[in-house]
Amino acid sequence: MSASRHSISIHFIHSILTSARHNQLDCQRLLDAAGLNPALLHNPQLRITPDQLSALLRELWQLGDDEFMGMASHPSRHGVFTLLARQAVHCRTLGCVYRLISRFYNLTSPALTLGLHSQADQARFSMRLNPPHQDHQHSLAEFLLLLWHRFPSWLIGQRIELNRIELDYSAPEHLSEYRLMYPCPARFDQPECALQFDASWLQQPVVQTSTTLYKYLQQTPTDWFRRQAYYPVFTRRVMDLLEARDTPGQLKMEQAADELHMTSRTLRRKLIDEGTSFQALKDDVRRDAAIHYLNQPSLPISQISRQLGFSEPAAFTRAFKQWTGVSPAGYRKR
């Protein structure tokens, strides 16, 4: 699903601002970074985009030099996660990744204790905040559990199927957000926080590289707040070819197959096996590129249409309305 169709509860903004005020940080600067009007924050129904939450969080990390958002007993300086990620990408399996995360943070931060436990056919990655009293609204626990699921999932190229998450607090008022955050049931009032999944996942190989990690880090934390899309091998290769082009609409199936050193028939079969098609991938890339270009007011819609490989602006308009529900002009105006 397009990230532009995903929204997030304003609760998380309030939680971050509460922590920022407690740590005497400039809240207006944070709101400005996210493009949020303070007058709108009084509306409990307000929802924000992943980009807005990401921009606010990046500003908070830099302003407070703390990736734990001022919600833990001890800070974790900005850049610590990057150091971990550069080691994790060289792990061989998911089990190695979770053991590395545990050792790394247990050594570098007294604010939390992590552990991987495997028994019979179940694996459990646990977390305790030491002590938890500064995480008043449990936003740090929610954020870290999201991270411990989504980053390892990205490393192995597929979403880890969680059996459940366990939380050491009562169900919050924003419980409905959990269905967007965690793809599993949640149990509250547990002794500690944890992710539980089948132990067989621990043998899954890490498929990412230092090259793909560089792009991933450039997009953090935005990708953590979007609905996740993990691509199988050949889907990812075709997406890489399309995204590397200034004019993705002009890439043909035969050209892509040649660059991947296979016949177009073989590539078509591989994509069908992965549940997609070359045209569907091209449309996904063109949709995302269109949204990017439409946020640049100096680019005429007719030029965007040509750059994306459409024969005429009317064809682009039809396609964009199919992708997003609004016309390019309507999207730009909004």
The DSSP line for 180-206 is: HH-SS-EE-S-SSEEEEEEGGGGGPBP
**pLDDT at res. 296:** 75
Determine if residue 55 is left, alpha or beta; phi over 0 gives left, psi from -120 to 50 gives alpha, anything else beta.
alpha
Range scoring the smallest mean pLDDT among 41-55, 103-117, 213-227, 241-255: 41-55
**pLDDT at res. 32:** 92
Q: In the predicted model, is pLDDT for residue 140 greater than 50?
A: yes
Q: What is the C-alpha separation between 124 and 194, in angstroms, rounded?
A: 6
CA 50 and chain centroid, separation: 9
The four Cα atoms 97, 99, 104, 109 give a dihedral, to 10 degrees, of 120
Share of the chain above pLDDT 90, in %: 56
Q: What is the pLDDT of residues 237-285, one digit of tens each?
A: 898 898 888 788 888 999 999 999 999 999 999 999 888 899 988 888 8
Q: Which two tokens stand for residue 26?
A: 């400039």
Range scoring the smallest mean pLDDT among 21-25, 38-42, 274-278: 38-42
Determine if residue 325 is left, alpha or beta; phi over 0 gives left, psi from -120 to 50 gives alpha, anything else beta.
left
Range scoring the smallest mean pLDDT among 62-71, 112-121, 215-224: 215-224
Q: What is the pLDDT of residues 283-307, one digit of tens each?
A: 888 877 787 788 777 888 988 888 8
Q: What is the C-alpha separation between 48 and 254, in angstroms, rounded?
A: 41
**pLDDT at res. 244:** 82
Are the CB atoms for 3 and 226 separated by under 8 Å? yes
pTM: 0.68
More confident residue, 298 or 200: 200
Q: What is the CA radius of gyration of the chain?
A: 22
Relative orientation angle of helices 11-22 and 50-64, to the nearest 10 degrees: 10
Are the CB atoms for 72 and 134 separated by under 8 Å? yes
Q: In the predicted model, is pLDDT for residue 6 greater than 70?
A: no
Beta-carbon neighbour count of residue 189 at 10 Å?
Answer: 10
* Helix H or strand E segment including 169: none
Question: Please, which residues bridge with residue 119 across strands?
Answer: 122
Q: In the predicted model, is pLDDT for residue 81 greater than 60?
A: yes
**pLDDT at res. 311:** 82
**pLDDT at res. 2:** 35
Nearest one of 226, 125, 126 to 180, comparing CA atoms: 226
Q: In the predicted model, is pLDDT for residue 5 greater than 60?
A: no
Q: Where are the beta strands (DSSP E) in the chain?
A: 8-9, 47-48, 112-119, 122-129, 162-166, 186-187, 193-198
CATH class for domain 231-333? mainly alpha
Beta-carbon neighbour count of residue 334 at 10 Å?
Answer: 7
Q: In the predicted model, is pLDDT for residue 228 greater than 70?
A: no
The four Cα atoms 17, 167, 170, 184 give a dihedral, to 10 degrees, of 100
DSSP 3-state of 264: helix
Q: Where in the chain are all domains bearing CATH 1.10.10.60? A: 231-333
Q: What is the C-alpha separation between 210 and 229, in angstroms, rounded?
A: 20
Beta-carbon neighbour count of residue 100 at 10 Å?
Answer: 17
Beta-carbon neighbour count of residue 216 at 10 Å?
Answer: 16
